[in-house]
Amino acid sequence: MPGRPDIVVVSLGTTMGLRGADDALVSQLRAAGATCEIARVEMGSSGRLRVRMALTDVVEGLAARRAAHQVAGAVVYSSVTAALLQPSRTPSAVRFDATAALNRPGPGGAWQRARERTVLRRADLLLPWSESAQAAALGSAGPGAGPSVVLPPPVPAMPAPGSERFHAVAYAGNPRKRRLDLIFEAWRRAGPADARLAVGGIEQAEAARLLEGTGAREPPGIEWLGPVSRERWLRTVAGARVFVNASDHEDWGIAQMEALSAGVPLVTVPSAGGNIALPLARALAPALVAEEVSGAALARALQAGLALDAQRREAYATGATRLLEPYRDEALRRRVADEVLPRLLASSS
């Protein structure tokens, strides 16, 4: 890397949403006056080992360690996983949507949870995406945790809808986590005749392989988008009548927040986790939030969402715009300039 940037962001970026969040942070730091570069984590041939969670975190942590060799005044790791196997070096900050203490339960997450405590105590600055992630980090690290600033990713202003128009859109990059089986069941129960449900983030054959053993049966009316460009995805979401989510757990809810930004009604189960989008969805239209995580409950919420008339859809979009103001880039740039950058630069001086 030519020169010596003030800050390097080590981006694990395993999903489209996480890559977008890392790019936004780099832009915010540059707008605040810092020189900042991004180091993309490359898995290489070891990526084939990402099968079980414990081994996945080792592979991703080692890849992040290789990416972090670049010299900088400060390093920002884009997740706890990216920082798990870093050498003892300062200054550093860790940005995260959730902690291992929350999303790595059971024996398979034991080493990550233990290592995380050291990582959080050693960091000069913690940058949780939400207040719930902040509380979890402070609880995990104990009294030795460094200062923290809540810094969610900005929710983008959405582009105009594209030419593709669907009754519903769902993201299923990880179909088991996203409970695509429940979405299938809900669509079978509530999807109108000849209606189309677009599924993004995965190809049909791969989804079928990963859902094997779940009993999931693909209903009529599914259109598989596969892994799509961010621009096409946002335009597709913006043109949908509803966005459907059935995740058991959401660390933050990027895809759902993007749907709200487009004014598209969010039909969702009550996913556990930080899940910033859930209370917003409940405030906007409680009938569109299923009372439980089940295909039958989601079908009732989906039916209510598809039944919204133009006036109620407009009111929904207006309310969503108001609720999303704290998550817009302009507001977050001020927080980066006033609270984040001074701490990063002070720790590297």
E strand spans, the chain: 7-11, 36-40, 74-77, 92-96, 125-128, 168-171, 197-200, 222-226, 242-245, 266-268
Confirm if 78 and 57 have CB atoms less than 8 A apart: no
- What are the pLDDT digits (tens) for 16-39? 778 888 999 999 999 999 999 888
Helix 277-284 vs helix 310-323: crossing angle, to nearest 10: 140
How far is residue 119's CA from residue 188's CA, in Å, rounded to a whole number? Answer: 46
How far is residue 214's CA from residue 216's CA, in Å, rounded to a whole number? Answer: 5
How far is residue 333's CA from residue 42's CA, in Å, rounded to a whole number? Answer: 28
How far is residue 96's CA from residue 251's CA, in Å, rounded to a whole number? Answer: 9
How far is residue 11's CA from residue 276's CA, in Å, rounded to a whole number? Answer: 22
- What are the pLDDT digits (tens) for 268-317? 999 998 899 999 999 999 999 999 999 999 999 999 999 999 999 999 99
Averaged pLDDT for residues 193-203: 95
Averaged pLDDT for residues 181-198: 96
Nearest to 189 by CA among 290, 97, 282, 103: 290
The architecture that CATH gives domain 7-154+328-348 is 3-Layer(aba) Sandwich (3.40)
| Domain 7-154+328-348 and domain 168-326 have a common topology | yes
- Measured CA to CA in angstroms, residue 47 lies from 14, 42, 51, 55, 115 at distances of 11, 9, 9, 10, 22
How far is residue 252's CA from residue 206's CA, in Å, rounded to a whole number? Answer: 25
Model pTM? 0.81
The pLDDT value recorded for residue 111 is 66
* Other beta carbons less than 10 A from residue 308's beta carbon: 18
Torsion angles phi and psi, residue 263, rounded to 5: 75, 15
Higher-pLDDT residue of 279 and 142 is 279
The domain locations on the chain are 7-154+328-348, 168-326
The architecture that CATH gives domain 168-326 is 3-Layer(aba) Sandwich (3.40)
Contact residues for 156 (Cβ-Cβ < 8 A; gap 6+) = 20, 234, 258, 261, 329
The pLDDT value recorded for residue 67 is 47
pLDDT confidence tier of residue 58, bands split at 50, 70 and 90: very low
